[in-house]
Amino acid sequence: MTQTVLHIDSSARLSGSVSRDLTAQVVERLGAKEVIRRDLATPLPLLDEAWIGANFTPADQRSDDQKATLALSDALVAELERVDTVVIGAPVYNFTVPTTLKAWIDLVARVGKTFQYTEAGPEGLLKDKRAIVVIASGGTEAGSDIDYASRYLQHMLGFIGITDIELVAADQQALDAEGSVQKAKDAIAQLAA
């Protein structure tokens, strides 16, 4: 049974959002004891030179300013470390994820915290976690050659160690909105709690 869920929404639409509606249904289906909510409608800061400098300074050598610069990133990583399931709502904007979700990824993909480099290549450090990614699109078919959103999320989650990934797709809504959303709801009903 799912104990703790990190529920992330990234749609710019606060009402009428298919991905938000579906992630809420996923979280309800999981019946978690605790849900940590992260709504990216309020954008996270983008990486800048100060952040890069702080991140690549060894932790024991960081100034107070550098620690403050990384505080939000540290908190986002701590959220990931704490949960056993991550639910991500990702509408497809221009064939990929919204910039707000990309900003979250940039802040949590941290060498030495969520991944490390080994002689065998990169190794994700967030193991034994599950991710359920809800994709909503107007015209892009999930898994197609032009779907850079779900493939990117699967790659990045795997890169940080989350390899148990399930995709719920309400894709190609421009062709059949009702059928697309129903297909996603049917997939949610089949999810293991």
Which pLDDT tens digit goes with each residue over 138-147? Answer: 999 999 999 9
pLDDT over 90 at 4, yes or no? yes
Query: Does 10 show up as a binding residue in the annotation?
Result: no
* Mean pLDDT along residues 93-101: 96
pLDDT over 70 at 39, yes or no? yes
**How far apart, in whole angstroms, are the C-alpha atoms of residue 23 and residue 1?**
18
CATH number, domain of 86, equals 3.40.50.360
Which residue type is seen at 44? Answer: L
pLDDT over 70 at 94, yes or no? yes
pLDDT over 70 at 41, yes or no? yes
Q: Give 2's pLDDT tier (boundaries 50, 70, 90).
A: confident
Query: Does 11 show up as a binding residue in the annotation?
Result: yes
Model confidence pLDDT, tens digit, residues 118-155: 999 999 999 999 999 999 999 999 999 999 999 999 99
How many domains is the chain partitioned into structurally? 1
Which residue type is seen at 96? Answer: T
Domain containing residue 185: 4-189
pLDDT over 80 at 1, yes or no? no
pLDDT score recorded for residue 193: 84
Percent of the chain with pLDDT over 90: 98
DSSP string covering 60-128, please? Answer: GG--HHHHHHTHHHHHHHHHHHH-SEEEEEEE-BTTB--HHHHHHHHHH--BTTTEEEETTEEEES--S
Query: Does 144 show up as a binding residue in the annotation?
Result: no
